[in-house]
Structure 1
């Protein structure tokens, strides 16, 4: 795949859409899981995705906060593309040292998100990166963790937004950038 062919946003969205697999009834009945592994397996496509996300917030962020687990892939690529530090938001019990935690609800359960206390600094501008935006619960939890540190959310970047679940409306005034804003 030629990276030059991926500079147009609509072309990038089409290529990503064509490479997402939908897995019905995973992780439980009634959930349609969006498998982005085929996107992640193509370096040029992942690089173009990272460039689009980074460019959407050009000059407006100091750090990238990536949400476990698939957000780590995208967030790492964005941080590398932008030359900005990466912060990992992990599930409970996976980070050493003092952490801040937020409990939140998912569309199929609940979870807890944590960041180490010393990784975000007051006044920093942070973009929160994940793979999919559904109800916005995970992103809202990440927002709370960023605010507790004294930093500010400059925006949210996702590969795909699932329509009809209210995720974007839950995130407040910060910009939400989605390569596929209407789902698969």
Structure 2
């Protein structure tokens, strides 16, 4: 079982430092990908190595103890989940869009505002009873996260928590996962 790794790095930053980092390194693009949508781009954060390291350090400090696997959803959940798994010293399991995995992956179809989507995990990715945390970049309406939780539970694995870099408050994402503890690095009103 994992305990949070201690490294030679500085102690985890506090909430005020994280607020400053996130405010200054998340770009906003109004009316993208369609009118009325305010797109939050994490690329400036990803490009700033020291800031990203501080965010990962903080994020590890708010995750529950006992994690054995970080489960990251395609695609930004890969970018964020892999360094979290590395820092925690645990395995990383990618959740892919339909048709991206060979063999016979396990899958779950879920509803979107504009149709349906499917997420998949390799059939042998998680052992029964694995203690997992779900990671993604954004919690908005919660559809992808709820489907990922369902998929992980199909392995008879335990979902200790779901955690997100950014939460857009007021879009009902938390309500889609009432039985799972949720943490976020940065929450902003939508």
TM-score (norm 1): 0.91
Q: Is the 8 A contact 1:66 1:89 kept in 2?
A: yes
Give deviations 1:130-158, integer Å, cap 9, x for gaps. Answer: 00000000000100110000101110111
Give deviations 1:152-181, integer Å, cap 9, x for gaps. Answer: 111011111001101012112221111112
Match of 1:53 among 59, 62, 66: 59
Residue 124 (str. 1) matches residue 124 (str. 2): no
CA distance 1:147–1:8, shift in 2 (3 Å): same
Q: Which residue of 1 aligns with 2:188?
A: 182
| Local SS of the residue matching 1:158 | strand
Describe how 1:130-145 pairs up with structure 2 within 5 A.
Answer: 130-145=136-151
Stretches of structure 1 that go unaligned for 5 or more consecutive residues are none
Residue 8 (str. 1) matches residue 18 (str. 2): no
Residue 93 (str. 1) matches residue 99 (str. 2): yes
- Alignment coverage as a number of residue pairs: 182
How well do the aligned residues superpose, as a CA RMSD in angstroms? 1.8
| Local SS of the residue matching 1:54 | helix
Q: Which residue of 2 aligns with 1:169?
A: 175
Q: Which residue of 2 aligns with 1:79?
A: 85
**Bigger shift: residues 162-171 or 19-28:** 19-28
Q: Is the 8 A contact 1:91 1:112 kept in 2?
A: yes
Superposed displacement of residue 9, structure 1: 2.0
Stretches of structure 2 that go unaligned for 5 or more consecutive residues are 1-8
C-alpha distance in 2, partners of 1:106/1:159? 21
C-alpha distance in 1, partners of 2:107/2:167? 25
CA distance 1:131–1:119, shift in 2 (3 Å): same
| Local SS of the residue matching 1:49 | helix
C-alpha distance in 2, partners of 1:152/1:29? 39
Residue 158 (str. 1) matches residue 164 (str. 2): yes
Superposed displacement of residue 109, structure 1: 4.4
TM-score (norm 2): 0.88
Q: Is the 8 A contact 1:66 1:129 kept in 2?
A: yes
